[in-house]
Chains A and B, each alone.
Chain A
Amino acid sequence: MKALDAKLFRDLWRIRLQALAIALVIGCGVAVVIMSFGAMRSLSETRDAYYDRYRFADVFAKLKRAPLTLVDDISALPGVARAEPRIVHYVTLDIPGLDRPAVGELVSLAEEGKAALNAILLKEGRYPRPGHGEVIVSENLAEAHGWHPGAAFQGILNGRKRTLVVSGIAQSPEFVYILDPGQLVPDNKTFGILWMPREELEATFDLDGAFNQISVTLMRGASEPDVIERMDNLLAPYGGTGAYGRDEQLSHAFLDQELQQLRTIATLIPPIFLGVASFLINIILSRLVETEREQIGLLKAFGYGAGEVGWHYLKFALVIVIGGLAIGAAVGLWMGVQMTTLYQQYFRFPFLYYRIDPFVLLASFAVSLAAGMLGTIGAVRAATRLSPAVAMAPAPPATYRRSLFEFIGVAQWIPAQTQMIIRHIERWPLRALTTSLGVALSGGLLVMTFYFFDAIDELIDSYYFRSNRQDATVDFLEPLDPRAVGEVGRMPGVRLAEPLREVPVRLHFEHREKLVRIYGILPNTTLKRFIDVDGKSFDVPPEGIVLGDHLSRTLGAQVGNTIRTDILEGRRGVGEVRVAAIVRENVGLSAYMEADALNRLIGEGPAVTGAQIMIDPTQTSAFYGTLKETPATGMVMLREPAIASFRDTLAKNMLVVISFYVVFGVTITFGVVYNAARIMLSERARELASLRVLGFTRGDVAYILLGELALLVAVALLPACALGYLLSWVMSHAMDTDLFRIPLVVRPSTYATGVVILILSAAASALAVAWRVNRLDLIAVLKTRD
């Protein structure tokens, strides 16, 4: 059927812009699927391969000190395959050229090639010689400071300042995501891993023949909780703070969270996009087919069967959908590579597999095809069901009714053109509704996209300013006498220092449990603030425990419930405590108690593990300088650099991802509005041309057409905002993880941005259509009936 195919391609060419707009909408849906699933799959396969090759452990435990002989007992536990002990210490670093102190996680290194677990991958240089102050540093730190083997810096090791020399640069499966505990995102300048020969560490920290961390791998089929319980029992006498699985290993947990969020995006957003796309294809194609009514009648009159005619229009849709798939696949693959590359900067992988799941590819194709076909089949069936005589007859003049305005008697105040608009909408309410709904959906997508920026701002604001008002936190790394806080308070530049007590604990409620930290807070301190779920602040209650809202959900414990506590420090008592309040918390899983109440719970006297401080902003450098020289402070976390790196990392990461979605949202919006306008034009070209012939100006005619468009867009604005909030709600809930939550805060400016983009795309489409109105060929329109 060559002639029919010629018709197909010429008709497609005639509506090429419209077809492109539809194809782009479909392409967006497909691209998101391919990008998200591609990045997810690539990341998880890369991770699995890396873990496997470098023997990443399954269970980890920290303790105070245990003799190496205990390792055999742990290896012998049922379910344990291999165990590897090591020594780990946090040390303060003084890095040339860096004003603030940095922190190194000093990890003992097995001899080259002998590491049973958590092997490192040496990227540059060589293994350190014991006794020379040589270390292998993690790639992130080396990159941040431009180090190569031979570079030197200072470290305070066990109270003595020493010069450390870089012998090599490495990566490790344990530190794919290198994060200073207590931070939200990595700061590569101020935190890194240092690997040092075991014997040198033993000597430096007086841990001869001992270890303070142990990692194990499990045998196939072993129960992780069982092993954890047995390890906890074995390690309790040695100050074990609770063994934990990969799910609580920091790097793994972050990686996992990222994968989880990718999965959420991949499973949540594409259906929204594909849904919008198929909805659009549905209206657009069915209205397109409607405008082809006479031609369908004609083909049938010539003896083309319903099947042949149907197939002709299906092919029409197919070309558009397949075009969309091709665009989507190409863009999706490209973006998948971009995303994966982005992750490589964010996560430290030695290699990266880029994988595309053929099933995902086919599934997204199938769904879009089905959506496109479904939209077309319905319209074509309706058109071919008409007898050819009826199909070919010029559609009878629509029966308009008196409009609502006439009914309520204000019609005489409304200009005739406006009445035409209103009657047209009232005559085809479903068309008007679908147009507005399409606009509302795409607007909702836009609002949801921009919502992420609000969420990040809110996260920073609530975590760094409203809930935690300190400029810096000093972590002593072990319980000390409360007087230690006074010493911090006397450092230059410190305006205020408040004590902090941190106790590792396993909380149990019903059958659920969670390994967390309880923070002891002195009453009448000001830096830590508790804000309840309604946004009101409250003081730490004198009795009972305060749970973060996410922790309370995880445990299923409400205010008034009594939860069981396994303290993993000191006397390691088991106790019970009542939930006194729930505090809103977007970051981590924490619990809080009044300091005395906490001391009673753990049965110990007052002690501190850290201090929260306010700094005089004019004396920051004096404060930093002192910190660098003070051996006993342990580890310091600073707010300003943390926020800067948080924003910086997110700016790099989120911005790329979000801008993808913004492009999608804008494309869809434009696609919807432009198509609605074009279809309106083709449906009404005759009528409008007749008006022109009767002497109406171009402006009058454009007003009738664009006025309707403007009205339909205006009506959609509020629902767009509502849908945007709904979608944000869905995203915020779906992205809930233990590490942090995306708060549900949609600012007015976000709605405004969405609305403005909607209006701009509507205006752009209107311009494109107005140009066509100006070119309406009066003679041609009146002469021919197609």
Chain B
Amino acid sequence: MREANKAPDRRAIFRTEGLTKVYQLGEIAVQALQGIDLVIAESEILVLLGPSGSGKSTLLNILGGLDRPTAGRVFFKEHDLTRASDRELTQFRRASVGFIFQFYNLVPSLTARENVALVTEIARDPMRPEEALDMVGLTPRLDHFPAQLSGGEQQRVAIARAIAKRPEVLLCDEPTGALDSKTGSLVLEAIAKVNEDLKTTTAIITHNAVIAEMADRVISFGDGRIVGEQRNPRRRAASELTW
């Protein structure tokens, strides 16, 4: 048991200042993010809650170096990601970030093992793909292609792929969005275990309030802004969650 706001010694991993993102669609400008100020601390689990279209994915993508803000700044530790070159962003993603997407985004022509190897082959100090898949309980499915796996299994491959490089941060965009409750909690368990074992800073997007109970901190989004912040006095184990 720990309390995030009583841990001032913990280092900030991400820090954003007035982060703004505008999508220009012809005549119309979509304000996806409108001045986000946020600090994410080392090894915490952060849940981002909010209705669809409120800008959660946009924020996560910018944090992970997949996209650039229109205005404002993002720091990863001391590095200003807003000023980083494409090459530096690539390096950042390669070395430090693990992504999990709602639709798994596995490469369909590669087996589970190869999908993980795709990432470990370019990482500095990775686990073996088998080891990562073992962590998510997929050892019997090593040589299956995505099409031969269920949705939950595919998502667990995606988790194995994200953690195999031992990333400093794990960014999960609705990791259970496409899964039933039982499979979903299996996936969340795997994420929590990684956070426990590897001390990986973890951000999880969801619009499922139940999931928020496994977080150290919950940020609520609305209309591109942070509309609420709440610290859980106590994290619940993922296995206890049902919805």
Contacts and interface: CB of A to CB of B under 8 A. Distances in A.
Contacts of A300: 66, 90, 93
A2 B123 CA distance: 14
A370 interface: no
B107 A305 contact: no
Contact of B99 (A11, A302, A390): A302
A303 B122 contact: yes
Interface string B64-84: 101110000000000000000
Interface string A300-316: 11111110100000000
Contact of A388 (B66, B95, B103): B66
B87 interface: yes
B110 interface: yes
A123 interface: no
B147 interface: yes
B114 A3 contact: yes
B68 A305 contact: no
Contact of A785 (B66, B103, B118): B103
Nearest to A14: B109
Contacts of A388: 66-67
Interface string A378-409: 00000000011110100000000000000000
Contacts, number: 84
Q: Chain B: interface secondary structure?
A: helix
A430 interface: no
B180 interface: no
Contact of A303 (B91, B101, B117): B91
A3 B115 contact: yes
B105 interface: yes
Interface string A742-786: 000000000000000000000000000000000000001001111
A6 B114 contact: yes
Given A6-B110, A7-B107, A785-B103, A301 B118 contact: no
Nearest to A299: B118
Contacts of B121: 1-4
A454 interface: no
A273 B91 CA distance: 43
A2 B93 CA distance: 20
A301 B65 CA distance: 8
Given A300-B90, A302-B94, A786-B108, A392 B101 contact: yes
A7 B108 CA distance: 9
B147 A780 contact: yes
A94 interface: no
B119 interface: yes
B86 interface: yes
Given A3-B118, A302-B119, A390 B109 contact: no
A305 B122 CA distance: 10
B61 interface: yes
Contacts of B90: 300, 303-306
16 contacts: A3-B114, A4-B118, A4-B121, A6-B114, A10-B110, A303-B122, A304-B94, A305-B87, A306-B90, A388-B67, A389-B61, A389-B66, A392-B66, A392-B101, A784-B103, A785-B103
Interface of A: 1-4, 6-7, 10-11, 14, 294-295, 298-306, 308, 387-390, 392, 780, 783-786
Given A299-B118, A389-B67, 10 more contacts: A295-B107, A298-B107, A301-B66, A302-B94, A303-B90, A303-B95, A303-B97, A303-B123, A387-B68, A390-B67
